A and B are shown apart, each in its own frame.
Chain A
């Protein structure tokens, strides 16, 4: 039975009581738009991530690493596919419109994909640091997300990401236990990717964030960022790497790591698709889409 609501207050009371919204249910337009935008951003990020990953299949050193990059690429394309399905089903935009908007630079994707991965160390930093940040954020959404179809996909995405985290960990261990040159390569990548990873969570949440009010996500950005810091700072230090934050401190009273103030200007640039590599990334994605048009045409006439 599809649910209907007499008022926004009734809908919110349903959400407050732990209710889950399903595709056939009536939902306030604002909720529909917020949940759509959230899933659209996630879907776009999976697709843009897969395309950057793809560039490394041929360049990854050795067959095992190639296999791991290949697996991640496939995984992200699959996630994007399902997320676009759920996003389009909300009826705000068609799937074609969502892709056009992305490929013409009108919509957003995660900040981390607005930078170029120059070395294999960068690629590993993405696989380890960035994916872990995404995983922390996704776990928090999954825990209590009010939109049923999204929550169900997240369960599988989290299982996959957990697997890729282990692969990423092995790659980092490879650097940590490697030669001086290898250690230096990863240290340099850490310096490039640490801040983007912290910014992936976004600036501190606004007190009246509708995403929180409607349980589209369940925890504040700064809480997630802190959870990530508490986990990854000791891990990276344990591997013998240096965190690129001169103000980083361990607070003996609270037994917690405290990071320096974050400069949000780089994030703001990526949100306008004006990051260091945004233009090339979007162009590459548009080319990939255009050059595979014949496959879609063939499938449609088959």
Chain B
């Protein structure tokens, strides 16, 4: 019989193609994994960060491939859901640290404030709502003068 926990773990371990070192679970993109233990059918619900994310197709295929690494997996059905909507609040604390330290990307606090991922200062100004990826804005820290990026809500 198929090991449902193994399927869930394999899917959760899929790395995001644009965030090396972070998984779709870390980023809060993974919403739900359902396994039918009799047929081996797997259903995965994902929440895209943005509607126009160019990596969705790749993520879909990576998730399908990951589910199939588990013995007994039957049909794999990956769907992108927009309800509930993805928000940066879904990013785990560990992933936030990784984003800040490794990629100088920051996540806006609940009160709307921004902290510079380089120097920790609070004088961060958004300069371009859309950055290199549709899920990030470009900002500049006026204290340490580094360009940084901010995950978009």
Q: A residues touching B (Cβ–Cβ < 8 Å)?
A: 22-24, 64, 67-68, 70-71, 74-79, 81-82, 85-86, 89, 148-149, 152-153, 155-157, 159-160, 162-163, 166-167
CB atoms of A75 and B133 under 8 A apart: yes
State how many residues of chain B have any CB contact under 8 Å with chain A: 30
Q: Bound complex: CA of A166 vs CA of B148, how far in Å?
A: 25
Does B85 count as interface, using CB distance less than 8 angstroms?
A: no
CB atoms of A155 and B144 under 8 A apart: no
CB atoms of A85 and B140 under 8 A apart: yes
Interfacial chain B residues near A70, Cβ < 8 Å: 54
Q: B residues touching A (Cβ–Cβ < 8 Å)?
A: 17-20, 52, 54-55, 57-58, 102-105, 118, 127-128, 130-134, 136, 138, 140, 144-149
Of A68, A85, A149, A152, which contacts B54 at CB under 8 A?
Answer: A68
CB atoms of B138 and A156 under 8 A apart: no
Known: A22-B144, A86-B147, A152-B118. A159 touches B128 (CB 8 A): no
Q: Bound complex: CA of A68 vs CA of B56, how far in Å?
A: 11
Of A74, A153, A162, A166, which contacts B147 at CB under 8 A?
Answer: A153
Q: Bound complex: CA of A24 vs CA of B138, how far in Å?
A: 21
CB atoms of A78 and B57 under 8 A apart: no
CB atoms of B145 and A24 under 8 A apart: yes
CB atoms of B145 and A155 under 8 A apart: no
Q: Can you give 30 A-B contacts (C-beta < 8 A)?
A: A23-B144, A24-B145, A67-B54, A70-B54, A71-B54, A74-B132, A74-B134, A75-B132, A75-B133, A78-B128, A78-B131, A78-B133, A78-B136, A82-B147, A85-B127, A85-B147, A86-B147, A89-B145, A148-B146, A152-B118, A152-B148, A155-B104, A156-B105, A156-B132, A159-B18, A160-B132, A162-B17, A162-B20, A163-B17, A166-B17
CB atoms of A159 and B57 under 8 A apart: no
CB atoms of B57 and A64 under 8 A apart: yes
How many A-B contacts if CB must be within 8 Å? 79
Of B52, B55, B58, B104, which contacts A152 at CB under 8 A?
Answer: B104
Which DSSP category, helix, strand, loop or mixed, fits chain B's interface?
loop
Interfacial chain B residues near A67, Cβ < 8 Å: 52, 54
B5 to chain A, nearest CB (A): 29
Nearest B residue to A84 via CB reads: B147
Interfacial chain B residues near A82, Cβ < 8 Å: 131-132, 138, 147
Interfacial chain A residues near B57, Cβ < 8 Å: 64
B34 to chain A, nearest CB (A): 27
Interfacial chain A residues near B17, Cβ < 8 Å: 162-163, 166
Interfacial chain B residues near A22, Cβ < 8 Å: 144
Q: Bound complex: CA of A162 vs CA of B19, how far in Å?
A: 10
Interfacial chain B residues near A89, Cβ < 8 Å: 145
Nearest A residue to B134 via CB reads: A74
Interfacial chain A residues near B128, Cβ < 8 Å: 78, 81
Q: Bound complex: CA of A152 vs CA of B128, how far in Å?
A: 18
Which A-B residue pairs are the 8 nearest by beta carbons?
A: A78-B132, A71-B54, A23-B145, A82-B147, A78-B131, A75-B132, A85-B147, A152-B104
Q: Bound complex: CA of A82 vs CA of B140, how far in Å?
A: 9
Q: Bound complex: CA of A22 vs CA of B144, how far in Å?
A: 8
Q: Bound complex: CA of A23 vs CA of B118, how far in Å?
A: 12
Interfacial chain B residues near A166, Cβ < 8 Å: 17, 58
Known: A64-B57, A75-B133. A149 touches B146 (CB 8 A): yes
A131 to chain B, nearest CB (A): 14
CB atoms of B140 and A159 under 8 A apart: no
Q: Bound complex: CA of A70 vs CA of B134, how far in Å?
A: 11
CB atoms of B146 and A152 under 8 A apart: yes
CB atoms of B18 and A163 under 8 A apart: yes
CB atoms of A156 and B54 under 8 A apart: no
Nearest B residue to A70 via CB reads: B54
Known: A79-B132, A159-B20. A149 touches B55 (CB 8 A): no
CB atoms of A156 and B145 under 8 A apart: no
